[in-house]
Structure 1
């Protein structure tokens, strides 16, 4: 018995395509895992450092993202906004956002104040919001952007009290006329407003990405194995068939 390999053009091309896509996706998932692991390391390091006090003459852009910050000023209470579809511990709810005017300056910072449960009877109605009055000091974590969810339909024009699915700070600044810093602060200090502040960790999910990468590598390997196995030809049957034909011819001559 002998073994040979027959290269078929179309199966070869299909295998190359599948393997290329699989390896590309696996490498992308690996990069995402590395990015999240780097973020986790950065967050862990910055969490051990003291909070940066943001004075009137200190720009937020000079502070590393994910650093702890201290802000002193007043909430712009007439401009509450709500991020929809933000569940917490299995309960439907909203993230409460509000501009914060820094004391002694003309600058404002968008604050993610916390999480609030939805009105179960009327989704368009938000529960009563308690907002501290006067000058207060809050502590939080600096973020470069808000977490996003899938956008359903076109976003409505921003107005006080609007419930939106996603929000860009630049868009809010243009539509509200409020001069906002390009960064966001997730509030962590308690201001007796009843809001929950168990913020999602942006570095979570590195293990999930590595699992996906393994699956894509495995798919590529299986495609290669399938191509090789289906291309192998065994010569035993051919030899046997040729012998049978020879015996038949010999019998005929006799």
Structure 2
């Protein structure tokens, strides 16, 4: 019985140690994310200060092309509209409207902005886009790969997609598209809302989360040490003559 009683504090200490290690790892992960966000914010600030580039200039860039301002000219393929599903703005669910544009430098996917979804899921919004040649200002966005469901719900057009995975989008559109998306700056000209957020969570927020995890780890360590000390004193008294 005495061995069992002594085993219980040991097990509790091991569990506390595991919890502390997990919290420390989460804290260091948040620090790494904060550093990544700081680099991204600096890059964004530097590139926003540039004059808009052409698609030809973008295609000549070596390395990451995200966040470059760009000016594109071309015509929309209005028969191939995609609706990026489950995009929320101010608590309202809607879609971001994506459409391929034919340019002199290739087909590029354009994000025209957000619109509210109809009340019924079965309904799709009616979208009217200009068919004449346009010149648009925007930013280069490079979507990340996401293994979320790629199911296309509609047999016709427009089609809903869960993520703008460009290899998948190219298959749907049956087009060779450039490896990035142009996020239009002035979305209101098409009746949509700009929902582009280049940095969703700033570096400061990650730092605050890191401090919280380190604080929890410290608190857990202190509580564990206090409990072990009390347990030892208790056992010491119980076995004293």
Q: CA deviation at 1:147?
A: 9.6
For structure 1, the residue ranges without an aligned partner over 5 or more in a row are: 1-5, 243-254
Report the Cα distance in structure 2 between the residues aligned to 1:234 and 1:176, rounded to whole angstroms.
Answer: 73
Alignment of 1:1-254 (within 5 A): 9-55=10-56, 59=59, 62=62, 64-103=65-104, 105=105, 107-120=106-119, 122-145=120-143, 151=148, 155-156=151-152, 160-189=157-186, 192-232=189-229, 233-234=232-233, 238=237, 242=241
Report the Cα distance in structure 2 between the residues aligned to 1:132 and 1:145, rounded to whole angstroms.
Answer: 25
Aligned to 1:245: none
Say which is worse superposed, 20-29 or 34-43, in terms of deviation.
Answer: 34-43
Report the Cα distance in structure 1 between the residues aligned to 2:58 and 2:37, rounded to whole angstroms.
Answer: 29
Q: CA deviation at 1:128?
A: 2.2
Report the Cα distance in structure 2 between the residues aligned to 1:133 and 1:167, rounded to whole angstroms.
Answer: 23
Give the structure with higher Rg (CA). Answer: 1
Deviations for 1:19-64, whole angstroms, at most 9, x for unmatched residues? 2111111111111122122211211111111111124x86275473
For structure 2, the residue ranges without an aligned partner over 5 or more in a row are: 1-5
For the residue of structure 2 that corresponds to 1:92, the secondary structure is strand
TM-score (norm 2): 0.82
Report the Cα distance in structure 1 between the residues aligned to 2:219 and 2:125, rounded to whole angstroms.
Answer: 54
Q: Note if contact 1:132-1:191 (Cα within 8 Å) is conserved in structure 2.
A: no
C-alpha RMSD of the superposition: 2.9
TM-score (norm 1): 0.78
Report the Cα distance in structure 2 between the residues aligned to 1:34 and 1:83, rounded to whole angstroms.
Answer: 30
Point out the structure with the larger helix share.
Answer: 2
For the residue of structure 2 that corresponds to 1:71, the secondary structure is strand
Count of matched residue pairs: 229
